[in-house]
Structure formats: structure tokens, C-alpha cells
């Protein structure tokens, strides 16, 4: 079903994040080499690096695109305790000829006292909003009141999660029927912490972010499926556009694709090794049969990307 091909990324160190823009024609990558690269897809489907610049003074953990209606805007976050917002500007014409684009830093968000581990733009109907989370467990929500001026960001909310946060995700609902929510995942590895995924909902009446973590308080949270096939820690999960295929990567160095059948049974439909080579089915299922070890908290990265699922009213 899936065939992988390699792209010459030319990053000098580990690539930490890959992110597509709304149309899937542009891509951004970030790396421990402290740089961010922007890639454009040509008509023939090849990816060309059109910008590469040093963004932070530490490993860049995540990079994310704003909705194109706000312009070509990126946000990055780093170990250097900052998050930054970048905008592409129309550069000199010879830049354009060389196929290079020019990105300028519009703002640096310096509120965090520790490494900023994730950054995400809110769904577009909320305006230009940005959420960051940091290793000391603080989620911060910023807003640019004037979408034409990306250098003005005001800190709207600060939520303390009390746990080291590793990833955040907005609910993608594009309708106003659901209040905005943020899911926060923690990489805390102590076994006695239960709520490693917390959901915060914005309450219009009190103008505050309400919390619901793990337990069945306001949201009914139940496990639909549980996958043990990675036999180890799971690093990243990502939904496709409809929320019907889930991709996961884990400590076994494989990328797995999951799909539910009509009975709501989630099945693994494809396994690919991290280096792109296909896994021959028989041997991949061998290996270590016992369950996961260590702190096995699947990151909630990029999850809830899907836009289709109709939600039951809670």
C-alpha cells in the first residue's frame, strides 16, 4: 500500500519535527542543528529546500504552520527556552530566481523558564492564536490581536499542568459549536502519575480554561483501541486528514499505520522501517513479545488532526 522514498534533508543533526502546511505543498523541518528548513513541492512532486536558516541557540523541537489566511507564517520552539514566529517576505528578485525565499523573525516569546517543547497554532476561526508548552509544565496561549502585525503577541492564558509537558494539540473543530480545547501530553516518566494526557477547555462564561484530566469528570474518556505492537515506547502519532488512518513511530524504529475496520477493530495495515525499507511480515512480528517497558506514554503529537469525526454531544 505504501512505498517510501528518501529525501536528501541535509540537516546536520537529528531532525525533530516535520510539518506540512494547510495545502500540503510546503513542508518545514527542524533539527538539533538549531536550524529550520522550508521545503516546496514542485509540479513533479519533488521536494526542494527553499529556505534554511538558523533559528535558535539550541535544538529546535517543533515547527508548525499557521493557516495560509494569515500569510506564510511559521512558529518554532526550542531548547533555548523560546518560541519564535517567522514570516516569509517577498525578498529581492534574485532570491526568487534562485528559488530561495526569505523568512524574518517577527517575534520571540520568552516567557518560559525552561525548554519549550511544543508550539501549535489554534484553528483559524479563533484568529491568530498560538499555544506553547514547556518542560516545567506550563501551557501558554498567545494571541496576535492584529493579524497584520505579527510582532505583537499578548500572553492570554497561562495554565499550569504540574507535569512536564511534551506535546499539545488543539481540537481541530472548525465550527464554533465546540469550545476550543487543548490536549496536553506529558513525558513524565514516574509511574505513579496517572493523568499524562490532560484536556483543557475554554469556557466563554468564566473566560478561563477549564481542566479535565484523565478521569471521567466532564468528558467521557474511554480507550477505543490500544496497540502494543511497537513493543516499546511510542514516540509520535499522527492522524491523516480524515482521522481514519493513524501513523505511529516507536522505539523499534518502525513506522506503523493503523486503520479501523467497519467493526471498529483497529488493525495494523502497514509497517515500514525507519530507514524506508519494508519489513518482511514474518520476522517483524517476532522479536520481543512482552509488553512495553519503561515509561510508555504515547505522545499526543499532531493528533486530532483529522477533521471529520462528528462528535457526540457531551
**Residues of this chain, 66-125, that bind other proteins according to CB under 8 A:** 68-69, 71-72, 79, 88, 90, 93, 96, 114-115
| Residue of the chain from 52, 186, 198, 302 that contacts other proteins (CB under 8 A) | 302
CA-derived radius of gyration, the chain: 20
**Residues of this chain, 265-294, that bind other proteins according to CB under 8 A:** 272, 274-276, 283, 288, 293-294
**Residues of this chain, 23-42, that bind other proteins according to CB under 8 A:** 23-25, 27, 29, 31-32
Nearest CB to other proteins, comparing residues 64 and 107: 64
| Residue of the chain from 108, 160, 203, 244 that contacts other proteins (CB under 8 A) | 244
Q: How far is the CB of 258 from other proteins (least distance, A)?
A: 11
Q: How far is the CB of 205 from other proteins (least distance, A)?
A: 19
Instruction: Tell me 311's DSSP state.
Output: P
Nearest CB to other proteins, comparing residues 226 and 310: 310
Alpha-carbon span 46 to 28, nearest angstrom: 14
The pattern of x and - marking residues 136 through 165 that bind other proteins according to CB under 8 A reads ------------------------------
- Residues 17/9, Cβ–Cβ less than 8 Å: no
Nearest CB to other proteins, comparing residues 107 and 292: 292
Question: Is residue 206 at the binding interface for other proteins, with CB under 8 A as the rule?
Answer: no
Contacts of 51 (CB under 8 A, 6+ apart): 37, 38, 88, 100, 101, 102, 103
**Residues of this chain, 174-193, that bind other proteins according to CB under 8 A:** 174-175, 177, 187, 189
| Residue of the chain from 138, 236, 297, 300 that contacts other proteins (CB under 8 A) | 236
* HEC readout, 86-149: EEEECCCHHHHHCCCCEEEEEEEECCCCCCEEEEEECCHHHCCEEEEEECCCEEEEEECCCCCC
Name the region of 228 (left: φ>0; alpha: ψ -120 to 50; beta: rest): alpha
* Grid cell in block for residue 158: 497561562
Nearest CB to other proteins, comparing residues 218 and 235: 235
Distance, CA of 237 to chain centre: 9
| Residue of the chain from 108, 152, 160, 240 that contacts other proteins (CB under 8 A) | 240
First to last CA, the chain: 37
Nearest CB to other proteins, comparing residues 34 and 198: 34
| Residue of the chain from 59, 211, 212, 229 that contacts other proteins (CB under 8 A) | 59
- Residues 40/29, Cβ–Cβ less than 8 Å: no
Amino acid at each position: 500500500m505504501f512505498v517510501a522514498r528518501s529525501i536528501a534533508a541535509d540537516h546536520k543533526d537529528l531532525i525533530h519535527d516535520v510539518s506540512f502546511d494547510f495545502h500540503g505543498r510546503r513542508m518545514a523541518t527542524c533539527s538539533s542543528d538549531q536550524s529550520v528548513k522550508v521545503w516546496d513541492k514542485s509540479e513533479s512532486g519533488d521536494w526542494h529546500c527553499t529556505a534554511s536558516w538558523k533559528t535558535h541557540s539550541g535544538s529546535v523541537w517543533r515547527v508548525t504552520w499557521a493557516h495560509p489566511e494569515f500569510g506564510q507564517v511559521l512558529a518554532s520552539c526550542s531548547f533555548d527556552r523560546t518560541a519564535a514566529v517567522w514570516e516569509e517576505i517577498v525578498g529581492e528578485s534574485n532570491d526568487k530566481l534562485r528559488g530561495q525565499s526569505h523568512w524574518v523573525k517577527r517575534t520571540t516569546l520568552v516567557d518560559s523558564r525552561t525548554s519549550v517543547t511544543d508550539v501549535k497554532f489554534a484553528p483559524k476561526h479563533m484568529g491568530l492564536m498560538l499555544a506553547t508548552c514547556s518542560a516545567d509544565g506550563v501551557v501558554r496561549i498567545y494571541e496576535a490581536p492584529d493579524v497584520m502585525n505579527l510582532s505583537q503577541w499578548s500572553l492570554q492564558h497561562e495554565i499550569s499542568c504540574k507535569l512536564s509537558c511534551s506535546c499539545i494539540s488543539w481540537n481541530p473543530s472548525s465550527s464554533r459549536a465546540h469550545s476550543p480545547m487543548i490536549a496536553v501530553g506529558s513525558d513524565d516518566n514516574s509511574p505513579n502519575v496517572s493523568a499524562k494526557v490532560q484536556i483543557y477547555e475554554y469556557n466563554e462564561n468564566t473566560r478561563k480554561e477549564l481542566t479535565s484530566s484523565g478521569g471521567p469528570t466532564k468528558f467521557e474518556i474511554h480507550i477505543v483501541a490500544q496497540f502494543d505492537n511497537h513493543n516499546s515506547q511510542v514516540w509520535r502519532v499522527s492522524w491523516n486528514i480524515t482521522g481514519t488512518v493513524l501513523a505511529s513511530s516507536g522505539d523499534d524504529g518502525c513506522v506503523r499505520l493503523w486503520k479501523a475496520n467497519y467493526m471498529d477493530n483497529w488493525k495494523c495495515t502497514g509497517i515500514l522501517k525507519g530507514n524506508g525499507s519494508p519489513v518482511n511480515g514474518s520476522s517483524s512480528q517476532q522479536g520481543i513479545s512482552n509488553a512495553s517497558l519503561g515509561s510508555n506514554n504515547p505522545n499526543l503529537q499532531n493528533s486530532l488532526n483529522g477533521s471529520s469525526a462528528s462528535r457526540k454531544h457531551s
